[in-house]
Amino acid sequence: MIIVPEREIGGLLTREAAFEAVERVFAAMAAGEAYNFPVVREAIGHEDALYGFKGGFDRSGLTLGLKAGGYWPHNLAQRGEINHQSTVFLFDADTGKAQAMVGGNLLTALRTAAASAVSIRHLAREDAQVLGMIGAGHQAAFQLRAALEQRAFKKVIGWNLHPEMLGTLESVAEEAGAPFEAVGLDGMGEADVIISITSSFDAILGADQVSPGTHLACMGTDTKGKQEVEAGLLARATVFTDEVAQAVSIGEAQHAVAKGLISEGDVHQL
C-alpha cells in the first residue's frame, strides 16, 4: 500500500489538476458512470467534533475510495491545527485490496475549491465582473483563488461574521489584480457570482440581497441542519448539483425541499 503524507500533497496536486479531476468526475456522474455512497456523519460526543465517511466509485476510471474525517471546531484555537481533518483511502476495484492512504486536508481544500470553480466555468454569466465571498475561514482563500481563474472579475466583495478576518481574502484578490471591498450583506446585490463557504446553521444570505442572474455556489452546507441562504432564494433559482440525493438531504436544498418550496425534481443533475 502506498502512503502519501499530508506534507507531500502540495508538491503533487495543483489547482489546475484538481479542476480537471472534478470536471471529469462530474461528467462521469452525469453519464451514470460514477456515484457517491450515502454519507455517514455523526457527532462523536467529544471535543464537539463531527466525524464521518464520504465514499464513491467511478467505473470509468475504476476508482474506488472513501474519505474519513470531519470537523474539530477547537483545533485552531487550542492546537494550531486546522479544524477540518481528513484522510483518503483508495482501493483496488477488482479485488477490494487497499492501495493507498493519502493525507486529505489540502486535497479536500483544492477539491472543494475546484467544485465551485467548475460551476462558475460552466454556469455563470460570461460577462460576470463582480465576485462576492461570504465567509473568510480557512477554506475561503482556496475558493477565491480558484474562482478568480474562471472569469475576468474586476472586483471582489466580501462579508464575514467577523470582518477582521477579511484581510486574507483582500490579499488573495490583490494578488490577482482585483480590488477588494468589505460589504454588508445588502452589498451582495452588486455581485454577479457569490460563493458562500461557512459552517452556519442559520441562513445568512436573504433572497432580497441577491440580484437576478447571479450565480451562487453554496459550498458550506454538508450536514443536516446547516444552512447558508434563505430557502426562498432557492425557490427563485434554477438549482444544479452533482448529487441530487445528497443536495436534498444534507446540502443547501434540504430546507427548501422540507418547506415544500421546491421538490427533489426541481434539483437538476449537473
Does residue 97 carry a catalytic annotation? no
CA distance 10 to 22: 17
Q: Which of 67, 97, 155, 259 is catalytic?
A: 67
- φ/ψ (deg, to 5) at 143: -60, -45
- φ/ψ (deg, to 5) at 144: -65, -45
Contact criterion met (CB below 8 Å) for 205 and 230? yes
Contact criterion met (CB below 8 Å) for 53 and 66? yes
Q: Which residue has the cell 454588508?
A: 184
CA distance 10 to 110: 10
CA distance 140 to 137: 5
CA distance 30 to 269: 7
Buried/exposed 129-143: b ≥16 CB within 10 Å, e otherwise: ebbbbbbbbebbbbb
Name the residues annotated as catalytic.
Answer: 67
